Structure 1
Amino acid sequence: MQTASATQGKQADIDVVIIGAGPSGSIAASLLHQAGKRVVVIEKQHFPRFSIGESLLPCCMQLIEEANMLDAVNAAGFQFKNGAAFRYRDQYINFDFTDKFTPGPGTTFQVERGNFDKLLADTAAEQGVEIRYGETVESVDLSADPTLSIRDEAGKLYTIEAKYLLDASGFGRVLPRLLNLEKPSNLANRSAVFTHIQDNIGDKEVDGKPFDRNKILVSVHPKNRDIWYWLIPLSEGKCSLGVVGEPHLLSGLEDNLEEMLLDMVKQEPGLNQLLSDAEVLRECALLKGYSANVSTLATDKFALLGNAGEFLDPVFSSGVTIAMQSASMAVKCIARQLNGTPVNWEQEYSIPLMRGVDTFRTYVEAWYDGRFQDVIFYDDPDNKIKQMICSILAGYAWDESNPFVNDSRKRLNLIVELCK
């Protein structure tokens, strides 16, 4: 790997600089390298590093395959996933992602993101991508070709110039911060408290049903439907556990997040029963005000990928899918532009990407106002409609042949009325 000391001064032979080596950065780097472009990835941290967003969606698998990383992911021993389960009081509903409207993979994995992200980055590096770890982007100049000022691990500054710039920095949101692109989200401010546990669930049952380790379990608080929990089975008998709610609903024990989380678990009888023997494995963390938006997603000089552009909410595990989808879509535009074809970034990247994001947004908003919860827990669902909704929950939010994607708000409102 080339060191920072060997890169002092501008490097005009680089096609694309990518900020961040997470899923969107690694996928984009791999795809660009396959297209014959020279890519350098700047990553602030060293991998593996902890991150949330452990429950992948099946749609991710076709994007992983596009980047020639599928064999590595399949061989890694991650927890198999074939659907999602929802529980509210004594109601339990599951969605089988293989029984969906949209063609494509119906299964995926639930992953410890530290290991998963490192696997993708290592696979990209094995393909020939250059990744520089422990380096921080200090400033960006877009007056000509994108030029970045970067501080290496020794504290030295150097500059790097490229023909295009991708921000895959996730919650770091490097370009929105440096270029003043931040814009308030239209979603309510919420917080999440989370950790990893050794779940020790064994053969425990809830409402006479054994715990299905092949599905994420989303539980709704029995007295306040604005509060929900995730339980994501991982390999080796572990789970990711989290609770989400507006800040005032999770207040009072901010100085002891573990006590707060465990107290919230006790308030949901089914979850409390499953986790009666659980052991907390890592310090609990708090993520505040995570929903974010930007004024500009892309220009002829830069594009924002995944969470660097917009993050909605963790409820349907859409974050990694949006990240990978944005990487694939952006790379196709970059390749054309670098090959001399003009690209309308608004029409060819931002608008098409946001069609899927806005589909997810429809269901996130309806989850919190209760309408989508009413649909999910309806006791006599139409199978064809359930398959269409299942496709969205499986990540196929860009399939406009699905009526619940093509006209998401109108279709959802119609089903809400029918459920009433």
Structure 2
Amino acid sequence: MIKKHNQNSRIEYVDVVIIGAGPSGAIAASLLHKQQKKVVVIEKQQFPRFSIGESLLPHCMSFIEEAGMLDAVNKAGFQFKNGAAFQYQKQHRTFDFTQKFSQGHGTTFQVQRGSFDKLLADTASEQGVEIRYGHSVLNVKLEPTTSVIVTEPQGTEYTIRTKYILDASGFGRVLPKLLDLEVPSDLPPRTAIFTHVYDHISDSDFDRDKILISVHPQHQDIWYWLIPFNDGRCSVGVVAEPNLIEHIKGDDEQRLLELISQEPSLKRLLRNATIAQECSHIRGYSANVKTLATKKFALLGNAGEFLDPVFSSGVTIAMKSASLAAKVLLRQLNGEDIDWKKEYSQPLMFGVNTFRIYVQAWYDVSFQKVIFTKNPDPKVKQMVCSILAGYAWDKTNPFVADAEKRLSTLVQLCELQEQKEMQS
């Protein structure tokens, strides 16, 4: 439905309107501003605000560095992260991201997104980017002139004429909703329930420098995250198909605690934990769109494509999209004729689809066989580790360049090894 707006509202003129001041919006704005483009960021909420996606991947640091924000992030005191740990029944495996195959950063941070996102946005502001908090996009017009109709906190409407729009609105998905771009995801709908806890973990074997992914002992398509922070808290959540959650009686907290009680190792770790904030949930979070970009607009991060939280790829994809879109957009603003599908959508989706292959293989349990194999080939483990570290665009990695075929072969080898061990 087209929303009416005041025809007498003021009109402003900029090079780029960015919708959303989260990680992709802040980084894109920074990169464009550095090239002397006039950018305005429209952010509906006030920062800090809660968001999930708290375990960054090392590849994120490349884009933070590119935007001139690395020093601020390094000094902020976030929880150091150097890898990922996986547990299923009595099996425990770790991946050290500094031992990855791909070039680039090997460590990163686990962050409470309220303070992390505010830090990136504040750093962009310090660089000279204009961010308007509490302003909401009411509508957009692409023809004859690209315009964004915005309302201020007190309700006054105004229009921004712009050469381009970047939608970094995340799960708000502003342009997909306004322009009817949404299409169903090809991934099955799942539900995530999550909260923060004061963890009081005393187990000396627990490594706070790694995210812990736990698999339900009976239902391997149910998994849990445990993300330690630097203040004695953890983010904890469970992901499952809705029917596996909704049959449990009670509210979100009761369902989350019941599911945690079904995973013995996680239950033991969190035996002294206390809830630090109200539990929340999201349903059917996977998303897709008809198009990611045109000569008028581009969708960044979750506004365009969101897969699943299992490998914490969301922020990495968001930052990659910001970096890629900014480079392509600068060329268009400087007069070049851009093929957005070829130069933005396809390169971005190469990595997204790499992640997709591993996400789907996680849920059909085949990739779990790789994760929990007893004696992995060290070189292969380094290549798999690179994907877990976010380097899903590194075509020098055979498990990226030919992901489906390589993964299928690796799964078969792991199954053969497992059969031999059972026979011996």
Q: TM-score, normalised by structure 1?
A: 0.96
Residue 78 (structure 2) aligns with? 78
Aligned 8 A contact 1:194 1:243 in 2: yes
Change in CA separation of 1:372 and 1:328 when aligned onto 2, cut-off 3 Å: same
CA deviations 1:57-107 (Å, max 9, x no partner) are 000001000000001000101000000000000000000000010010000
Paired with 2:213 and 2:140, the residues of 1 have a C-alpha distance of 41
Q: Within the alignment, does 1:381 sit opposite 2:382 as a pair?
A: no
Residue 358 (structure 1) aligns with? 353
Report the residue type matching 1:108 in the other structure. T
Residue 302 (structure 1) aligns with? 297
Paired with 1:76 and 1:372, the residues of 2 have a C-alpha distance of 35
Residues 17-416 of structure 1 correspond to what in structure 2 (within 5 A)?
A: 17-202=17-202, 204=203, 210-253=205-248, 255-416=250-411
Paired with 1:369 and 1:253, the residues of 2 have a C-alpha distance of 23
Q: How far 1:10 sits from its partner (Å)? A: 2.1
Paired with 2:332 and 2:27, the residues of 1 have a C-alpha distance of 19
1:102 is paired with a residue whose SS is coil
Report the residue type matching 1:341 in the other structure. E
CA deviations 1:248-290 (Å, max 9, x no partner) are 0011357511111111111000000000000100000010000
Q: Which deviates the most, 151-160 or 252-261?
A: 252-261
Gap regions ≥5 residues in structure 2: 1-7, 416-424
Residue 3 (structure 2) aligns with? none
Report the residue type matching 1:306 in the other structure. G
Residue 10 (structure 2) aligns with? 9
Report the residue type matching 1:381 in the other structure. P
Paired with 1:128 and 1:269, the residues of 2 have a C-alpha distance of 51
Residue 3 (structure 1) aligns with? none
Report the residue type matching 2:10 in the other structure. G
Change in CA separation of 1:128 and 1:8 when aligned onto 2, cut-off 3 Å: farther
Paired with 2:252 and 2:191, the residues of 1 have a C-alpha distance of 12
Q: How far 1:201 sits from its partner (Å)? A: 0.1
Percent of aligned pairs with the same residue? 64
Aligned 8 A contact 1:291 1:312 in 2: yes
The runs of 4+ residues in structure 1 deviating greater than 6 Å are none
1:315 is paired with a residue whose SS is coil
Paired with 1:359 and 1:392, the residues of 2 have a C-alpha distance of 8
Gap regions ≥5 residues in structure 1: 1-6
Report the residue type matching 1:94 in the other structure. T
Report the residue type matching 1:198 in the other structure. Y
Report the residue type matching 2:218 in the other structure. K
Q: How far 1:8 sits from its partner (Å)? A: 4.5
Q: How far 1:35 sits from its partner (Å)? A: 1.0
Paired with 1:254 and 1:89, the residues of 2 have a C-alpha distance of 25
Paired with 2:54 and 2:144, the residues of 1 have a C-alpha distance of 39
CA deviations 1:12-64 (Å, max 9, x no partner) are 3x100000000000000000001110100000000000000000000000100
| Alignment RMSD (CA, Å) | 1.2
2:41 is paired with a residue whose SS is strand
Q: How far 1:144 sits from its partner (Å)? A: 2.7
2:354 is paired with a residue whose SS is helix
Paired with 2:15 and 2:379, the residues of 1 have a C-alpha distance of 46
Q: How far 1:341 sits from its partner (Å)? A: 0.7
Residue 4 (structure 1) aligns with? none
Aligned 8 A contact 1:145 1:301 in 2: no
Aligned 8 A contact 1:290 1:311 in 2: yes
CA deviations 1:103-127 (Å, max 9, x no partner) are 1000000000000000000000000
Aligned 8 A contact 1:145 1:164 in 2: no
Paired with 1:374 and 1:83, the residues of 2 have a C-alpha distance of 19
Aligned 8 A contact 1:150 1:158 in 2: yes
CA deviations 1:137-159 (Å, max 9, x no partner) are 11110013320111110011111
Q: How far 1:9 sits from its partner (Å)? A: 2.2
Aligned 8 A contact 1:59 1:104 in 2: yes
Paired with 2:134 and 2:9, the residues of 1 have a C-alpha distance of 16
